[in-house]
A and B are shown apart, each in its own frame.
Chain A
Amino acid sequence: SQTIHQWPATLVQPVGSPLSLECTVEGTSNPNLYWYRQAAGRGLQLLFYSVGIGQISSEVPQNLSASRPQDRQFILSSKKLLLSDSGFYLCAWIRTDRNSPLHFGNGTRLTVT
């Protein structure tokens, strides 16, 4: 069966520090991968999308970046965090065949102080 792992679960970082969040998917190959951010009262915001290794689409201009070094690994990074980067970050994957549901990881609660 397919599973998705996302870590860390919580993170407290000072302003200006770097960030690296990691997500891996097991039990499937060549999934589409997503990074979403969820802020209180604002719903889910799509940040990055990837259809394959090294292929990243950015939906929102910001100081975050994403990389996909392996087929089932998706990394969210920042060189210098801002206070506004605080939020709940969710990784998700979906099969590319017809009508596959979207599956989420358990999320990372990031607090920038």
Chain B
Amino acid sequence: KQEVTQIPAALSVPEGENLVLNCSFTDSAIYNLQWFRQDPGKGLTSLLLIQSSQREQTSGRLNASLDKSSGRSTLYIAASQPGDSATYLCAVSRYSGGGADGLTFGKGTHLIIQP
């Protein structure tokens, strides 16, 4: 059974710093990996999706990398801002279109950017 772990569980850094969030998964037979952002009391917003054949994806100040063979992904946030404060979750999918298993989620990293 796939397990997804995110370290650290919580992180607090001053504004302007570059930071890295980590995600590891136990079964490397994945179709893709997604990073999400969740604000308090809200649903999840998809940030980046990396196909299993890709090494990284970038969107603005965000860069996600994937090392499928080692079961690891990182989300790099450049020049952090207070508005980046949220919980970040990663999830892996075994099949295209989600499939019966859906996505397996980590528990998230709660990020606070201090002004």
Note whether A and B form a binding pair. Answer: yes
A: which residues have CB within 8 A of B?
6, 32, 34, 36, 41-44, 46, 49, 57, 59, 90, 92, 94-107, 109
Category for how many chain B residues contact A = 20 to 34
| 0 or 1 for each of B8-35: is its CB under 8 Å from A? (1 = yes) | 0000000000000000000000011010
Give the contacting residue for B43; candidates A32, A43, A49, A90; CB below 8 A: A90
B102 with A46: CB separation less than 8 A = yes
Q: Are B96 and A98 closer than 8 Å at their CB atoms?
A: yes
Q: Give me 11 A-to-B residue pairs in the complex whose CB atoms sit less than 8 angstroms apart, sorted by A's number.
A: A6-B43, A42-B107, A43-B107, A44-B91, A44-B105, A97-B97, A99-B32, A101-B46, A102-B34, A102-B98, A102-B103
Give the number of A-B contacts (CB < 8 Å): 63
Of B45, B46, B98, B108, the residue contacting A43 (CB under 8 A) is B108
Q: Which residues of A contact B89 (CB under 8 A)?
A: 44
In B83-113, the 8 Å CB interface with A consists of 89, 91, 93, 96-103, 105-108
Q: Is the CB of B46 within 8 A of A99?
A: no
A96 touches B96 (CB 8 A): yes
**Is the Cβ of A109 less than 8 Å from the Cβ of B46?**
no
- The SS class assigned to the B binding surface is strand
Task: List residues of chain A with CB within 8 A of the CB of B103.
Answer: 102
A32 to chain B, nearest CB (A): 5
B64-96, CB under 8 A of A: which get 1 and which 0?
A: 000000000000000000000000010101001
Give B residues with C-beta under 8 Å from A. 31-32, 34, 36, 41-46, 49, 51, 89, 91, 93, 96-103, 105-108
Q: Which residue of A lies closest to B42 (CB)?
A: A106
Q: State A105–B43 Cα separation when bound (angstroms).
A: 6
Chain A residues with Cβ below 8 Å from B96 are 96-100
Counting chain A CB atoms within 10 Å of each CB, the highest count among B34, B36, B97, B102 belongs to: B102
Q: Which residue of chain B has the shortest Cβ distance to A98 in the bound complex?
A: B96
Contact across chains for A57 and B46 when beta carbons are under 8 A apart: no
B5 → chain A closest CB, angstroms: 11
